[in-house]
Amino acid sequence: MLKLMHAALIRASERWRGVRLTPFETRQLEAIRAELDEEHAKRTAPAVRSSEARSPSSISSKIRT
């Protein structure tokens, strides 16, 4: 929840001129943003890399009964 609040503060500070952030707060918010981006990249990464996937030519066409 805290990360969401900080993300909302980032967006608000970009539009509101009354909200001032110190350099320390800005660095903290950037670190949180990087962490969230990394977590998102891990969650949305493909399960199998294309180089690891089997090519159609390597699959046998014989049907076993």
In the block, which residue shows the tokens 């066409």? 61
pLDDT, tens only, 2-17: 788 888 887 777 776 6
pLDDT, tens only, 15-57: 766 667 889 988 998 999 999 999 999 999 888 766 655 555 5
H helix intervals, 1-65: 2-15, 23-44
* Amino acid type, 23: P
Angle at 54 between CA 49 and CA 55, to 5 degrees: 115
Q: Alpha-carbon distance 14 to 29, whole Å?
A: 13
Query: Residue 19 belongs to what H/E stretch?
Result: none
Q: Tell me, what's the pLDDT at 31?
A: 93
